[in-house]
Amino acid sequence: MIKFKAVTWQNFLSTGNTPIEIVLNNSPSTLIIGDNGSGKSTVLDALTFGLFG
């Protein structure tokens, strides 16, 4: 099983040059919520791209 401690990306899709980091080691599950267009799907797309290219 893969356990991520943090996910970091930049220059991916519409996130720009600013590094984005999400720390995932604080709880056994993570909920991603936000308004339309805030980047929820980008988080999952970045994770998928990192794993599978």
Q: Mind listing the pLDDT tens digit for each residue in 14-49?
A: 888 989 898 887 778 888 899 998 888 988 898 899
Residue 22 lies inside a defined structural domain of this protein: yes
**Which of the four pLDDT bands, split at 50, 70 and 90, describes residue 7?**
confident
Helix, strand, coil percent content, the chain, rounded in steps of 5: 25, 15, 60
Residue 1 lies inside a defined structural domain of this protein: no
What residue has token string 């339309």? 36
Domain membership of residue 25 as a residue range: 6-52
Could you give the 3-state DSSP secondary structure of residue 2?
A: coil
Residue 32 lies inside a defined structural domain of this protein: yes
Strands of 1-53, DSSP E: 6-9, 20-23
Contact assessment for residue 7 and residue 21, using Cβ atoms and an 8 Å cutoff: yes
Residue 47 lies inside a defined structural domain of this protein: yes
Q: Total domain count for the chain?
A: 1
Residue 10 lies inside a defined structural domain of this protein: yes
Residue 20 lies inside a defined structural domain of this protein: yes
